[in-house]
Amino acid sequence: MTVRRRHFLVREAGDDYQLRELDSTIAHAIHQFGTTIGLCTSVQSCHWTFYFMNSNISPAEADSVAAKLAQEFQDGKRS
């Protein structure tokens, strides 16, 4: 079974987060800059990676936000 991988650039927008989906090549380049990353594999069929650019967020908080965002994808609140 192939795991689908999705990469998102995350920007704070008030009380929420604005997401922009990235191509895997661009995501890899962003990763090279040492950006805070939130990782989440909430289901076996999909792995989400969230890149928090220009944001003061700890790695632990990034993982927490990533879990919340991934859950919103699963619940159909985000697509």
Query: How does pLDDT run across 6-31, given as a tens digit for each residue?
Result: 999 998 888 889 999 999 999 888 87
Q: What is the pLDDT of residue 8?
A: 92
Query: How does pLDDT run across 27-48, given as a tens digit for each residue?
Result: 888 878 767 777 666 566 788 8
Q: What is the pLDDT of residue 1?
A: 66
What are the domain boundaries of the chain?
A: 4-74
Tell me the pTM: 0.80
Q: How far is CA 45 from the centre of its chain?
A: 16
Q: What is the pLDDT of residue 3?
A: 79
